[in-house]
């Protein structure tokens, strides 16, 4: 009788051990599946980001500098034509006469005139420049104390549709979530 109780007891212990082992294995498999899903989601997100990426081309001999900023924009007046060799500010061009343009809605939202306005004042000399920064390096100014585009001439001066003189910092959030029903990554 004692032997049979010992056998049952041992059998129950082994059974508990098997259940615990199975639970650990199941947990490990679930973690591995989750890791693989996250890796796949990261890969998909990276591919989507690469498709959406707009980057300045690296300049090498024979490439054209600063082309996107010199191209037409539907809501802007025609830009002055800037030849590739005239783009850098280091190149002397005394006859450079860019189109001047600031959108009316930017002027209407001058923060020194309109309460709650989001745009800089018309006069760039009234901006607190020491508090401004650019990821492109130090801010340079023309003879009218307007900041120069750090990448070179664009054929246009002033702000266009941008509210700030100089750098206009922006953040573009990408919202993701795992769908509660399917567990798949969704990107908005």
Please tell me the predicted confidence (pLDDT) of residue 49: 55
**pLDDT greater at residue 122 or residue 45:** 122
User: Mean of the pLDDT values across residues 93-116?
Assistant: 96
Residue 160 three-state SS: strand
56: which DSSP letter?
P
- Picking from 169, 156, 84, 165, the residue whose alpha carbon sits closest to that of residue 125 is 165
CB 120 within 8 A of CB 165: yes
Residue 88 has pLDDT above 90, yes or no: yes
Cβ neighbour number for residue 147 with a 10 Å cutoff: 20
Burial category of 98 from C-beta neighbours within 10 Å (exposed 0-12, middle 13-18, buried 19 and up) = middle
107 versus 69: which is more confidently predicted? Answer: 107
CA torsion, ordered 80, 81, 86, 92, to nearest 10 deg = -40
Rounded CA separation 97/86 (Å)? 12
Q: How confident is the model at residue 42 (pLDDT cuts 50, 70, 90)?
A: confident
Q: What is the share, in percent, of the chain residues with pLDDT greater than 70?
A: 80
Alpha-carbon distances, residue 177 vs 34, 35, 64, 180, 186 (angstroms): 14, 15, 40, 9, 5
> Strand, helix or coil at 37?
helix
Q: Strand locations in the chain, DSSP E?
A: 99-102, 156-160, 176-178, 185-187
Report the mean per-residue pLDDT for the chain.
Answer: 84
Q: 3-class DSSP state for residue 159?
A: strand
Residues 175 and 186 sit within 8 Å (Cβ to Cβ): no
pLDDT band per the 50, 70, 90 thresholds, residue 122: very high
Task: Say if CB 71 and CB 138 are below 8 A apart.
Answer: no
Q: Looking at the predicted structure, is the pLDDT value of residue 10 above 70?
A: no
Give the pLDDT confidence score for residue 39 in this predicted structure.
82
- pLDDT tens column, 156-177: 999 999 999 999 998 999 999 9
Please tell me the pTM assigned to this model: 0.59
């Amino acid at each position: 009788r004692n032997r049979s109780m010992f056998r049952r007891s041992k059998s129950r212990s082994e059974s508990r051990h098997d259940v615990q082992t199975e639970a650990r294995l199941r947990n490990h498999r679930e973690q591995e599946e989750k890791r693989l899903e996250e890796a796949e989601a990261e890969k998909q997100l990276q591919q989507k980001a690469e498709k959406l990426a707009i980057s300045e081309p690296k300049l090498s001999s024979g490439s054209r500098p600063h082309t996107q900023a010199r191209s037409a924009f539907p809501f802007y007046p025609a830009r002055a034509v800037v030849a590739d060799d005239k783009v850098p500010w280091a190149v002397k061009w005394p006859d450079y006469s860019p189109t001047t343009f600031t959108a009316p809605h930017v002027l209407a939202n001058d923060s020194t005139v309109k309460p709650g306005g989001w745009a800089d004042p018309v006069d760039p000399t009234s901006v607190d420049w020491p508090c401004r920064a650019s990821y492109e390096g130090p801010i340079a100014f023309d003879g009218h104390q307007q900041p120069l585009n750090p990448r070179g001439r664009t054929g246009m001066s002033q702000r266009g549709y941008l509210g700030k003189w100089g750098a206009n910092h922006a953040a573009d959030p990408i919202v993701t979530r795992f769908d509660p029903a399917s567990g798949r990554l969704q990107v908005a």
